[in-house]
Structure 1
Amino acid sequence: MVTRAERFEQLRPLLFSIAYRVLGSVGEAEDAVQETWLRYDASPTEPTSTKSFLSAVVTRISIDVLRSARVRREEYVGPWFPEPLLADPYSDPERSAELADSLSMAALLLLERLSPLERAVFVLREVFGFGFGEVAAAVGRSEAACRQLAVRARRHMDAGRPRFEADRRAREELAERFFDAFREGEVDGLRALLAADVRLVGDGGGKAPQWSTHFAGAENVARLLAALVPPFLRIGGLVEPRPVNGEPGAVLRDRDGKVVGTWALDIVDGQVRTIRTVINPDKLGHVGPVADAWAVLRETTRVAAEAHPPRTDQVIRATPGTGVAEVG
Structure 2
Amino acid sequence: MTTAKRKLDHIRICLEKEVEGGWRPFDDLSLVHRALPGIDADDIDTSCRFLGKDLAFPFMISGMTGGHPDTKEINVNLALAAQEVGVAMGVGSQRAALERAEVEETFSAVREAAPMIPIVGNIGAVQLRRGGAEVIDRLAEMIDADAIAVHLNFLQESVQPEGETEAEGAIEAIRSASDLRVPIIAKETGAGISGEDARALLEAGVEIIDVGGLGGTSWSGVEAYRAEERGDLKSAKMGRVFWNWGVPTPVSVVECAFSGAQVISSGGVRSGIDVAKSIALGAMMAGAALPFLAPATEGSSEVVEALRVYRRAFLTAMFLTASKDVSDLRSAPIVVLGRTREILEQRGFSAKKFAVHREMSR
Flag whether TM exceeds 0.5 (same fold): no
Work out which of the two has the higher radius of gyration on C-alpha atoms and give 1 or 2. 1
Greater relative contact order, per chain length (Cα 8 Å cut-off, separation 6+) = 2
Give the structure-2-normalised TM-score: 0.25
TM-score, normalised by the number of residues in structure 1: 0.27
